[in-house]
Amino acid sequence: MPDKNIFTDKVKITIKSGDGGDGMNSFKSYKGKPACGPDGGDGGNGGGVYITASGSVGDLLSFRYTSKYFAGNGERGGTNKCFGKSGADMIIKVPVGTVVKDAETDTVICDMFEDGDKKLIAEGGRGGKGNVRFTTARRHAPNFAQKGEKTEPHTLILELKVIADVGIIGFPNVGKSTLLSKISAARPKIANYHFTTLSPNLGVVKYYENSFVAADIPGLIEGAADGAGLGHDFLRHIERTRMLLHVVDISGAEGRDPVEDFKKINAELSAYSKPLSKLPQIIALNKCDVYGAEENLKAFKKK
């Protein structure tokens, strides 16, 4: 896994699609014979602003240096019925896992979750019609053309939500934080009660020259997908990890059945979102030292 320590990152950018080019108002003219007929062409359309998710972009750092992203304006229509050139599109590459929000309303415009996702964020202005287009049976010489459509700039917030490579999940008190403290230098709070962890802890796990980031999240309970416990917010976070490490208390010391625990957490993941339930999962059966664990282990493996 790549050595990247990915945290929620947030930047503000201004975008603007291109204005449409004005239509041309002109008349054909020959030597000695001016204004023979309308020949003004249409203006070109303005370029659109697109956002695309790319696996080759790791963070939002570049947006701190460049914050304005404007597409090209359409060119004005020409004489001789020539169309104006369309403005160039602006394509903004963001890392996979970026949420695009409208800065004014704070509403989510799109979620760039898959590599290659491409969304049109702002459509370019329409080019104006040249005077040729206003010719009718009764109006042979329209002496006007349409203006191109003007566009307004918008402010967007880009938020990178991938927090880690591995998300450590499971019921409260099963030993998630303990595990993180053993595999990384992180020193999360560990205690023998539920919801010791209130916000995600991140730890860098070093393996020879490689390293990856693991996130220990607050315990999940039944109904987490509907907001029970602390679950809801954190399910959103782990949606943006590459894989899950599912910790199960195999001792059943709290009176629950480990197999049921495992099933319930998975049901919450599916209820919350499809991508989450599709993440690869490794099961870690913890508290093997406690009396009764061995028997449960056999039953768990069987099922």
Ligand X SMILES: Nc1nc2c(ncn2[C@@H]2O[C@H](COP(=O)(O)OP(=O)(O)OP(=O)(O)O)[C@@H](O)[C@H]2O)c(=O)[nH]1
Task: Between 112 and 230, name the residue whose CB sits nearer to ligand X.
Answer: 230
CB 218 → Mg ion: shortest distance, Å? 7
- Judged by CB under 6 A, which of 146, 177, 184, 296 binds ligand X? 177
Given 115, 195, 210, 295, the residue binding ligand X (CB under 6 A): 195
* Binding residues for ligand X, total number by CB under 6 A: 21
Separation CA 217–CA 246 (nearest Å) = 11
CB-wise, 25 or 177, nearer to Mg ion? 177
Find the part of the chain contacting ligand X (CB under 6 A) among 46-54, 95-103, 233-241, 286-294: 286-294
Instruction: Please choose which of ligand X, Mg ion, none residue 211 contacts, taking the beta carbon within 5 to 8 angstroms, the exact cut-off set by kind.
Output: none
Binding flag, residue 177, Mg ion (CB under 5 A): yes
Task: Indicate whether 264 belongs to the interface with ligand X (CB under 6 A).
Answer: no
**In angstroms, what is the minimal distance from the CB of 184 to Mg ion?**
14
Subset of 216-255 contacting ligand X (CB under 6 A): 218-219
The residue among 71 and 205 lying less far from Mg ion, judged by its C-beta, is 205
139: Cβ contacts below 8 Å, ≥ 6 apart: none
Residue recorded with tokens 């975008």:
15
Provide long-range contacts, Cβ within 8 A and 24+ apart, for 266-273: 267/222, 268/220, 268/222, 268/223, 268/224, 268/225, 268/231, 268/235, 269/169, 269/225, 269/235, 271/225, 271/226, 272/224, 272/225, 272/235, 272/239, 273/235, 273/239
**Alpha-carbon separation of residue 8 from 38, 121, 266 (angstroms):** 58, 22, 25
By the rule CB under 6 A, 175 interacts with ligand X: yes
Residue 196 touching ligand X (CB under 6 A): yes
Of 7 and 195, nearer to ligand X (C-beta) is 195
Residue 172 binds which entry of Mg ion, ligand X, none, CB below 5-8 Å type-dependent: ligand X
**Does the protein bind ligand X through residue 178 (CB under 6 A)?**
yes
Out of ligand X, Mg ion, none, what residue 281 binds, judged by CB under 5 to 8 A for its kind, is none
All residues at 6 or more sequence positions from 265 whose CB lies less than 8 Å from its CB, including other chains: 169, 170, 171, 220, 246
Q: Which residues bind ligand X (CB under 6 A)?
A: 170, 172-178, 190-192, 194-197, 218-219, 286-287, 289-290
Q: Which residues bind Mg ion (CB under 5 A)?
A: 176-177, 196-197
